[in-house]
């Protein structure tokens, strides 16, 4: 069942308050847009890109190309400072699964997550397809590991974390997927939901969610699996294919687009999505209305998923 909570505390590293986390750690910053000529995307009005331009030449942002994808091994120790019960968004100013981020660095990030099991780390990506490839890589038995799964993935993450963050190795036999990592994909419209949902749900995680922000149109949580005919399935539910079983979404975050030039938002879209979530028993979290206004009538809902080892 959903768990209701108030807003989070203030964030760090500069981008202001994000209602569903306590702080952010930007171990990666910078990105490149994902766009389609016929389907608007959140990348067209990326707040991280705007902020990076303001920070050009400062805080580690390159002066010549401030939104260039940059990994920050020096910030991995910030993950190790996470306090019990904290919700930490990693990262907010880039995409951890961008093609420019080496798999080994992603493994180091997950190794730090493993070292702070009493904290919750929330990842949001527009690239669940590459995330799916990373999880396959992490679990592979290629050199330098020969351990049986799933311990191999944990060991691989620990190896890179220890190298980059001066982290001692943890005991073997840790659970996989990590029980304190929530994995979300940005699905700002029906089109992007269709493009990303299968890869998202194929990634091993104790909590899967979508961020429908800024919401660009109505959303139907039923869709047809990629590459398959037959009936449409509800992404909030549970279904099987010939190769694997899919559990539905555990969390839906929604909100209007913010900032100058924000595109139109109709509260009816969000209310309909809320109804779909309630019918499925899926927690729903509404952030803000247009211009960071309070939630419109009927949308003052802020629920959290209950995952294993949840501190709430």
Q: Which uninterrupted H or E stretch holds 105?
A: helix 103-115
d(CA 151, CA 144): 13
Classified as helix, coil or strand, 236 is coil
d(CA 250, CA 244): 18
d(CA 151, CA 136): 13
pLDDT of residue 56: 83
pLDDT of residue 128: 98
pTM of the model: 0.88
pLDDT in tens, the chain (312 residues): 444 333 233 343 434 479 999 999 999 999 999 999 999 898 888 777 788 788 888 888 888 888 899 999 999 999 999 999 999 999 999 999 999 999 999 999 999 999 999 999 999 999 999 999 999 999 885 544 444 445 678 888 988 999 998 888 776 667 889 999 999 999 999 999 999 999 999 999 999 999 999 999 999 998 876 666 667 889 998 777 666 666 899 999 999 998 888 999 999 999 999 999 999 999 999 999 998 888 999 999 999 997 443 333
What is the pairing mode between strands 87-89 and 222-223?
unpaired
Spell out the residues 6+ positions from residue 22 whose beta carbon is closer than 8 angstroms to its own: 8, 9, 11, 86, 87, 88
pLDDT of residue 228: 62
Q: To 10 degrees, the CA torsion angle through 210, 215, 218, 220? A: 0
What is the pairing mode between strands 70-71 and 181-186?
unpaired
The total of other beta-carbon atoms located within 10 Å of residue 136's CB is 13
Spell out the residues 6+ positions from residue 24 whose beta carbon is closer than 8 angstroms to its own: 11, 12, 13, 15, 18, 88, 89, 90, 91, 92, 93
d(CA 135, CA 100): 16
pLDDT of residue 57: 85
């Amino acid at each position: 069942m959903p768990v209701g909570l108030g807003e989070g505390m203030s964030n760090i590293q500069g981008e202001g308050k994000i209602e569903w986390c306590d702080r952010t750690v930007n171990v990666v910053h910078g990105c490149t847009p994902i766009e389609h000529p016929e389907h608007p995307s959140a990348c067209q009005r990326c707040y991280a890109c705007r902020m990076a331009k303001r920070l050009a030449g400062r805080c580690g942002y390159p002066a010549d190309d401030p939104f260039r994808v940059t990994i920050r091994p020096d910030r991995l120790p910030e993950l190790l400072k996470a306090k019990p019960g904290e919700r930490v968004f990693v990262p907010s100013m880039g995409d951890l699964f961008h093609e420019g981020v080496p798999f080994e660095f992603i493994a180091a990030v997950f190794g730090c997550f493993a070292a702070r099991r009493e904290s919750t780390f929330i990842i949001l990506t527009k690239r669940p397809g590459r995330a799916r490839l990373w999880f396959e890589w992490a679990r592979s038995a290629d050199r330098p590991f020969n351990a049986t799964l799933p311990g191999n993935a944990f060991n691989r993450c620990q190896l890179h974390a220890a190298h980059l963050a001066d982290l001692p190795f943890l005991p073997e036999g840790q659970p996989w997927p990590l029980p304190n990592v929530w994995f979300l994909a940005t699905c700002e419209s029906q089109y992007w939901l269709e493009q990303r949902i299968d890869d998202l749900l194929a990634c091993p995680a104790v909590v899967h969610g979508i961020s429908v922000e800024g919401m660009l149109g109505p959303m139907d949580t039923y869709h047809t699996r990629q590459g398959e005919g037959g009936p449409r399935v509800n992404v909030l539910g549970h279904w099987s294919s010939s190769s694997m079983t899919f559990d539905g979404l555990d969390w839906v975050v929604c909100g209007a687009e913010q900032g100058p030039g924000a595109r139109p938002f109709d509260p009816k879209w969000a209310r309909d999505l809320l109804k779909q979530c309630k019918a499925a028993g899926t927690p729903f979290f509404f952030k803000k209305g247009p211009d960071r206004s309070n939630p419109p009538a009927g949308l003052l809902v802020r629920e959290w998923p209950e995952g294993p080892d949840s501190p709430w």
